[in-house]
Structure 1
Amino acid sequence: MMKKIQRFGGAMFTPTLLFAFAGIMVGFSIVFMNEQIMGSLASPNSLWYQMWDVVSAGAWMVFSQLPLLFALALPIALAKKQQARACLESVATYLTFNYFVGKMLQHWGSNFGVDFAADVVTGNGLANIAGIKTLDTGMVGALLIAGIVIWAHNRFFDAELPDMIGIFRGSSLVVAICFFIMIPTALLTCIVWPKVQIGMTHLQTFFMNSGNLGVWCYAFLQKILIPTGLHHFIYAPFCYDSVIVPGGTSVYWATHIQDFQTNVHTLKEMYPIGFSLSGMAKVFGSIGVFGAFYATARKEKRKKLLGLMVPVTLTAMLTGITEPLEFTFLFIAPSLFVVHALLDACISTVSFALGVVGDFGGGLINWVALNWLPLGAYHYKTYITQVVIGIVFAFIWFFVFTFMIKKFDLKTPGRESDDEEMKLFN
């Protein structure tokens, strides 16, 4: 069961790998289309502006079509055979599902409590998925449909059919089966999901008012559950679904960056959300962990330790992928990992309390592209505060880890016996 959960988590993580490049291009396009930064060069009538507007349209794809990407990604990890075919089946079925939902709402939307004639705007419960006006089921809808397709694919893809209808074997059979499943699924979605959206609105209010305590609990659970793979169930609804803000914090932040390009209000006044600050630990915590391991390593092993730790530390800092670093001590010194989770929660909470907000769930690439670059001219004081907090906590990580390693003689990398190999764990 745990392996299945971890495979599911890996599938959930796949679309987020596209965020780094897309975020960079979004960040550049926002900056280069801003007249306050670029002057007359960024006039809407200029060729410069128009060229970057084209680039921007492509860069927003990841954020605009995130549910579709989740529907595509899940079969990659969970389909038992012919994963490429399963991805095609999943996309086809997901689009069919949304066409069904759209037509049902067009004809009977008032019966479900949905004003389908309204324009698609953030927060009104509607969405455009690949050009289809439909109900905004977000990541949950995509994963539900992809899960049904994976079940049908694993069960029926290799089913034998009579020769006269043999053309319906494989993907054709799976899509045909899912076609008929989607009709009642779409109907149930129209009945149930508007009520779920009302519940999500109440959840948004609760979490928005939870303050520092809510941020601390969220950050701690997200980190401490990494060994089980269950951390995906903590952050995914916040980042990619409408638990906090419509569409999830990642998409909401990216699509509202231009609204934050003002120094009339602080960032926290405009975006009072602290559930995207895990990158603070990924960047500054990684520096502290690396420093502690180097300081406590045996002198004759420090050179080899650098070869092991520098790549994984840079990976964590730049991309926010911390598992290679954290797994170097998770299994050999689990007490360190508990402290690591506690410090992670503390740095997120302190940062939020002192006004640091934004999309800081990843590494430095994410920070620069979706925060510092487009907003630095307006909110540089916030980012100075962020860096100061980070440096302070990097030293805290260093001293706490160094103390614990020496006090309890923990066999972290570089402290192994001569006959033990220094290696990464996974």
Structure 2
Amino acid sequence: MQKTKAALWEFLQGLGKTFMLPVALLAFCGIMLGIGSSLSSDAVTDNVAFLKGEGFHLVFTWMANTGLVAFTFLPVLFAMAIPLGLAREDKGVAAFSGFVGFVAMNLAVNFYLTAKGVDFEDEKAIEHYGIADVLGVQSIDTGLLGAVAVGIVVSLLHRRFRTQRMPDALAFFGGLRFVPIVSALVLSVLGLLIPLVWPTFNGWISAVGRGIGHTGVFGPFFFGMGEVLLRPIGLHHILVAMFRFTDVGGSGTVCGDHVSGALNLFYAQLDCSAAPGSAVTDATHFLSQGKMAAYLGGLPGAALAMYHCARRRMRPEIKALLVSGVVACVVGGITEPLEFLFLFVAPWLYLVHAVLVGLGFLTAAVLGVFIGNTDGNVIDWLVFGVLQGSTTKWYLVPVIAAVWFAAYYFLFRWAITRFDLKTPGREDPPADDEHDEHDEHDGAHDAEHAEEQVRAAPEPARELVAGKYDAAAMLDAIGGAGNIRSLDNCITRLRMTVADAEAVDEARLKKLGAVGVVKLDGHNVQVVIGPQVQSVKDAIATMVPAGRP
């Protein structure tokens, strides 16, 4: 039972991590689409005359067109990214098989509908089945859910049949070549079942969306709070994806096309010259405008409170930590480096933070802010707010952020001093003799193990030792290469399955630059690094025996 629970937990973590590749592309394409569409729109060019030049118009139109890449092909990107991320070996074959499986499923749906005599032009049939053009095929638009299902099935098939042996007469089709073949067969059969179950399932999704819609502005409140509460265990991506890409986040018609999902609606509107309808404006309540109160104001206020509450002699040491966390939050929309500074010392304060984030979503919805996108950072505010004109009500964001800054600052300063919370710079200093002896012992221990592992490490790991993170020493603090069973990363964290979580030295990892350590159970551990986590993971991977992670 325990092993099954650990395996399921590891799978869910891995699934959430696979969303990051297409979401990162989506965020970039959203910025391209936002800049291109706004600077080529009549609303902007009428006020900035030189932008009407043919050269400028062509460049910005090209940018907007490039930004449509992720939006137009989003489901197939997920269908490829999931097996790519879940596969531990032969990732290219897994991604290729994801594409094959996705196409096979939709061709099978088309076959079923055609054989049944369904009229693809009939509005009732379109509404009942959810018929849409998918990669040039008249199929059922299962959206992200269908793509995730394809990705999971293909990843399982890849794991099972990657080394499949065939009889000599069919040996050419064995091994890795068999994975896309069996993916096409299995997904084609599953595709025949979709028209039988999807109308009912689609009705359930719509009911959930209507249920949230009936809560009015409280829907965004619960969404924002839920995202924050799920973040420490790394499962917030699933909740976010549900609202961004399915009917749960809203649906409506944009420039004649039916669109589902809050983010899909927003991006479709960017490429539409018509005024946004209520479906689009309501959908943005679940997007980045709700985050801006906490990301641009609240968390920086919390950081300043932690700085002022630190011991004076410790402030210079924690200043860089807090500043880098604020930059990651305000510019990059990455909050973990700040959140993990108080999550473990005062979980109840993190709960208050979650409520305040939810209230930020609520406030933006009530005031009619219409900015959208994914990150909630200053770039989103500029590109999708300021550049789109005053109809977005971008000017309200600095006011809201200022209120949240003050609220977080005074709340955190009161909580830290009232309950003597051990936020950075407030740790109780040991006696001088004990302190010196402890540091000397730890320093010798770190130096001995780091030097030994660096000598044996390949060049990428050695380069990291000279930078901010000592990858060799971090590996030793994790329990050594022998303790690692699997190793991966998301945007800010190392995600590991280890033989023994107790062997992971949390205190030493924090000394080496980690923001926090999350031990989910006896085998699943996450180490919060920050934006440089990919480099740290790559360096550590070079020191782990081939094939283990």
TM-score above 0.5:
yes
> 1:41–1:205: structure 2 CA closer, same or farther, 3 Å change rule?
farther
| Map of 1:318 onto structure 2 | 331
2:102–2:150: 8 Å Cα contact kept in structure 1?
Answer: yes
Q: Secondary structure at the match of 2:116?
A: helix
> 1:279–1:7: structure 2 CA closer, same or farther, 3 Å change rule?
farther
Please point out which of 12, 24, 37 is paired with 1:30: 37
Identity of aligned residues (%): 27
Q: Secondary structure at the match of 2:81?
A: helix
Shift in Å, 1:121: 10
1:139–1:240: 8 Å Cα contact kept in structure 2?
Answer: yes
Q: One-letter code of the match for 2:120?
A: F
- Which ranges of structure 1 fall in alignment gaps of 5 or more residues? none
| Map of 1:19 onto structure 2 | 26
| Map of 1:193 onto structure 2 | 198
1:330–1:337: 8 Å Cα contact kept in structure 2?
Answer: yes
Q: One-letter code of the match for 2:92?
A: A
Q: Secondary structure at the match of 2:395?
A: helix
| Map of 2:147 onto structure 1 | 142
Please point out which of 410, 413, 428 is paired with 1:417: 428
Q: How does 1:230-309 map to 2 (within 5 A)?
A: 230-243=235-248, 244-245=250-251, 246-257=259-270, 271-273=281-283, 274-276=285-287, 277-309=290-322
Shift in Å, 1:260: 8.0
Structure 2 CA distance, aligned partners of 1:57 and 1:123? 32
| Map of 2:440 onto structure 1 | none
Shift in Å, 1:308: 1.3
Q: One-letter code of the match for 1:371?
A: G
Q: Secondary structure at the match of 1:397?
A: helix
Q: Secondary structure at the match of 2:342?
A: helix
Shift in Å, 1:148: 0.6
1:265-307 deviation digits (Å, cap 9, x = unpaired): 9x97961342222343223222122111111111122122121
In the alignment of these two chains, the number of paired residues is: 415
> 1:408–1:224: structure 2 CA closer, same or farther, 3 Å change rule?
same
| Map of 2:101 onto structure 1 | 93
> 1:197–1:14: structure 2 CA closer, same or farther, 3 Å change rule?
same
Q: How does 1:348-387 map to 2 (within 5 A)?
A: 348-359=361-372, 361-362=374-375, 363-373=377-387, 375-379=388-392, 382-387=393-398
Q: One-letter code of the match for 2:396?
A: T
1:63–1:251: 8 Å Cα contact kept in structure 2?
Answer: yes
Shift in Å, 1:259: 5.3
- Asked if 1:331 corresponds to 2:344, the answer is yes
Structure with bigger strand share is 2
Shift in Å, 1:187: 1.2
1:32–1:38: 8 Å Cα contact kept in structure 2?
Answer: yes
Structure 2 CA distance, aligned partners of 1:98 and 1:319? 37
| Map of 1:59 onto structure 2 | 67
Q: One-letter code of the match for 1:408?
A: F
> 1:268–1:140: structure 2 CA closer, same or farther, 3 Å change rule?
closer
2:36–2:62: 8 Å Cα contact kept in structure 1?
Answer: no
2:295–2:329: 8 Å Cα contact kept in structure 1?
Answer: yes
1:220–1:345: 8 Å Cα contact kept in structure 2?
Answer: yes
Structure 2 CA distance, aligned partners of 1:81 and 1:222? 31
Q: One-letter code of the match for 1:236?
A: A
Please point out which of 117, 120, 124 is paired with 1:116: 120
Structure 1 CA distance, aligned partners of 2:319 and 2:58? 47
Q: One-letter code of the match for 1:352?
A: A
* Higher relative contact order (CA closer than 8 Å, sequence separation 6+): 1
Instruction: Please report the RMSD computed on the Cα atoms of aligned residues, expressed in angstroms.
Output: 2.8
1:215-236 deviation digits (Å, cap 9, x = unpaired): 2222211111212223223221
TM-score (norm 1): 0.88
Q: How does 1:100-249 map to 2 (within 5 A)?
A: 100-108=108-116, 110=118, 115-117=119-121, 125-243=130-248, 244-245=250-251, 246-249=259-262
Q: Secondary structure at the match of 1:404?
A: helix
Q: Secondary structure at the match of 1:312?
A: helix
Structure 1 CA distance, aligned partners of 2:364 and 2:184? 48
Q: One-letter code of the match for 2:515?
A: L
> 1:260–1:305: structure 2 CA closer, same or farther, 3 Å change rule?
farther
Q: One-letter code of the match for 1:424?
A: V
> 1:165–1:258: structure 2 CA closer, same or farther, 3 Å change rule?
closer
> 1:321–1:400: structure 2 CA closer, same or farther, 3 Å change rule?
same
Q: One-letter code of the match for 1:309?
A: L
> 1:299–1:423: structure 2 CA closer, same or farther, 3 Å change rule?
farther
Q: One-letter code of the match for 1:26?
A: L
Shift in Å, 1:209: 2.7
Structure 2 CA distance, aligned partners of 1:258 and 1:83? 34
Please point out which of 55, 68, 78 is paired with 1:70: 78
Shift in Å, 1:18: 1.5
1:360–1:367: 8 Å Cα contact kept in structure 2?
Answer: no
| Map of 2:400 onto structure 1 | 389
Structure 1 CA distance, aligned partners of 2:421 and 2:311? 13
| Map of 1:83 onto structure 2 | 91
Structure 2 CA distance, aligned partners of 1:175 and 1:80? 17
2:371–2:394: 8 Å Cα contact kept in structure 1?
Answer: no
